[in-house]
Amino acid sequence: MSDVDLRVGKPWKKPPLVQRTWLRWVLVIGVIAYLVAAYMTIEVNWSRVYEGLERGKKFVLAFTDPDFSSRSTDIWAGMIESIIMTVTSSVVGIAISIPIALGAARNIAPLPVYLVCRSIIAISRALQEIIVAILLVAIFGFGPLAGFLTLSFATIGFLSKLLAEDIESMDRSQAEAIKASGAKWLQWINYGVQPQVMPRLIGLSIYRVDINFRESAILGLVGAGGIGATLNTAFDRYEYDTAAAILLIIILIVMALEYISGIVRERVQ
Amino acid sequence: MPVQDLKGRQVWQRRSGRESLAHWVMWLIGVAVFAYCWQQISASTTWFFVWDAPRIANDIWTRATPPRWEYITQLGKPIWDTLNIATLGTLFALILAVPVAFLAARNTTPSVYLVRPVALLIIVSTRSINSLIWALLLIAIIGPGVFAGVIAIAIRSIGFCAKLLYEAIEEIDDTQVEAITATGASRWQVMAYGIVPQIMPAFAGIAVFRWDINVRESTVLGLVGAGGIGLQLSSSLNVLAWPQVSLILLVILAAVVISEWVSAKVRGAII
């Protein structure tokens, strides 16, 4: 009752986001202190930024008049290489990640297998594509092979983790019914588990193809093949119209992939 | 149900004849495409280097271990820079993403045919270009440094944050909005009291999630000159100082794991 008594006759006030008062103040002061410290340590060369605005304007204007033709052979070759890397790495990555996902699902795999597969996933997820690419370029030499291996490795971490989570949350009774009919292990996986996770697997695979293409665009920066090298050269030479053309192509392909994946996921689910 | 007649015995089949033929053709095309692509990769690979790879990998490993631990004293500032790039970048991205999200959501956009496509275009184009490419571009425009990294991360994150946020806005409960409207609230008041409280948990979750991703991305931005620990990584790589490289990689790994842990904890506390 006292709560009501306290509130009657007073104008309503929006309740604060963080309920505890001391915590709220600690958060506010901490954030302000951090922002001040961050601002103090970042050196911004404002005159340089101001000079750059002119170039920035030029770049933005380049988007209205992208130059597809003068470097068309380089762009074409780079794009094809990016697409080839995307296709092969997606196929190989998905093929490897399915058994690893089965191993990383606690309701299917025994504990030792589970731990091994989970650690493979953890390693693959913790290392970023570009760092893996640097190491693989150092080991395998320049070219799309390093990019292909990088993307396959990254696909394993992404796909196995999400697929394993889906397998772990599947309906047990269906799998049990298949087992009760006397199915062998492979048949059990094929008829009891696979149909349940197939929609998710297809959706994730297509999403990963999309990601792989986007990543393949930057691997060229470290010499792992793809359109990135062409893009880097275009920036280095201040050829903004060519860079704009490449970026437009990347955006278009990503949009198309996203559109296709939307349709496929809708049909599958 | 497709059933095959095997010498008078009815045997259940998973697919009918036509279906299995279609599947077979699909697989054939897939395998052909893959074989072609693989051939292309193999054609542009120097196989001699690949056969030599185990030796090289072993060589790098012996050079890189043990890491040069005393080098860590020089990594304090780069780590701080990396953290700043991630945090300030996320902050700017959120500030920019909120209006874009409101313009993109079907139920709050001022015009479905005029404004919404523009907002969606901003979301798609910022999202589909990697932060490293944004950093390259910004370095060409405003010069190398931490500031370029912050802006690169900010631009890259707009699309991601705005997309998740506008999906959250589209899923809000309309009755609450209606109730606020019925009290005679203005458009802005409806937003502040009807919509914002509903998307606040999603917003906080997105912010922390993106911050985690941004820590990960900002560790490598230095490779193209945009500040942070990646700068140290690239200079160490350039002089082939492998013991330093291995230490930096360990530090990056630690940063990624810690940020993931923090983000998981905070999200757990919010939701």
Domains in chain A, CATH or no CATH each? 68-268 (1.10.3720.10)
Residues B152 and B186 in one domain: yes
Residues B260 and B172 in one domain: yes
Residues B107 and B23 in one domain: no
Q: Give the minimum alpha-carbon distance from B143 to chain A in angstroms, rounded to a whole number.
A: 7
Interface touch A140/B53, C-beta < 8 Å: yes
For residue B244, list chain A residues with Cβ-Cβ distance below 8 A.
none
Residues of B (11-70) whose Cβ lies below 8 Å from A: 30, 33-34, 37-38, 40-42, 44-46, 49-50, 53, 56-57, 60
> B185 at the A interface (CB within 8 A)?
no
Indicate whether B27 belongs to any domain: yes
Quick one: DSSP state of residue A16? P
CA angle, A92 as apex, A146 and A76 as ends, to 5°? Answer: 55
The predicted structure's pLDDT at residue A269: 67
Residues B8 and B95 in one domain: no
For residue A18, list chain B residues with Cβ-Cβ distance below 8 A.
none
Residues B48 and B91 in one domain: no
Run of H or E residues at B251: helix B242-270
Residues B45 and B151 in one domain: no
ipTM associated with this complex? 0.80
Residues B83 and B34 in one domain: no
Helix (H, G, I), strand (E, B) or coil at B11: strand
- Return the structure tokens found at A49: 């930024």
Indicate whether B232 belongs to any domain: yes
Interface touch A250/B128, C-beta < 8 Å: yes
Interface touch B143/A231, C-beta < 8 Å: no
- Return the structure tokens found at A218: 């930057």
Residues B156 and B227 in one domain: yes
Distant-in-sequence, close-in-space partners of B188: CB < 8 Å, separation ≥ 6: none
The count of other CB atoms within 10 Å of the CB of residue A109 is: 20
Residues B48 and B100 in one domain: no
Q: How many inter-chain contacts (A to B, CB under 8 Å) are there?
A: 145
* Separation between Cα atoms, residue A213 and residue A216, nearest integer Å: 5
Q: Give the minimum alpha-carbon distance from A104 to chain B in angstroms, rounded to a whole number.
A: 20
Indicate whether B206 belongs to any domain: yes
* pLDDT tens-digit series, residues B43-92: 888 788 888 888 888 888 888 888 888 888 888 888 988 999 999 999 99
Q: Tell me the angle at which helices B17-43 and A144-168 cross, rounded to the nearest 10 degrees.
A: 140
Q: Are A224 and A137 in contact (CB under 8 A)?
A: yes
Indicate whether B62 belongs to any domain: no
Indicate whether B68 belongs to any domain: no
Residue-number span of the structural domain to which B161 is assigned: 75-270
Residues B40 and B79 in one domain: no
- What CATH number should be reported for the domain holding residue B207? 1.10.3720.10
Residues B174 and B243 in one domain: yes
- Domain boundary, last residue among B19, B37, B52: B52
Run of H or E residues at B3: strand B3-6
The predicted structure's pLDDT at residue B32: 92
Indicate whether B58 belongs to any domain: no
Quick one: DSSP state of residue B240? T
Q: How many domains does chain B have?
A: 2
Single out the residue of B192, B210, B212 nearest to residue B202, CA to CA.
Answer: B210
Q: Give the minimum alpha-carbon distance from A116 to chain B in angstroms, rounded to a whole number.
A: 19
Indicate whether B136 belongs to any domain: yes
Indicate whether B244 belongs to any domain: yes
Residues B129 and B181 in one domain: yes
* Separation between Cα atoms, residue A56 and residue A234, nearest integer Å: 15
Regions of chain A short of the pLDDT cut 70:
1-3, 17, 269
Our CA dihedral for A20, A21, A23, A25, rounded to 10 degrees, sits at: 160
A91-94, long-range: CB < 8 A, 24+ apart: A91/B30, A91/B34, A92/A148, A92/A152, A92/A155, A93/A151, A93/A152, A93/A153, A93/A154, A93/A155, A93/A156, A93/A159, A93/A208, A93/A212, A94/A155, A94/A159, A94/A205, A94/A208
* pLDDT tens-digit series, residues A147-205: 999 999 999 999 999 999 888 888 888 888 888 988 888 888 888 888 888 888 888 88
This prediction has a pTM of: 0.82
Q: Which residues make beta-bridge pairs with B5?
A: B10
Regions of chain B short of the pLDDT cut 50:
none
Q: Which residue has the tokens 């500032």?
A: B77
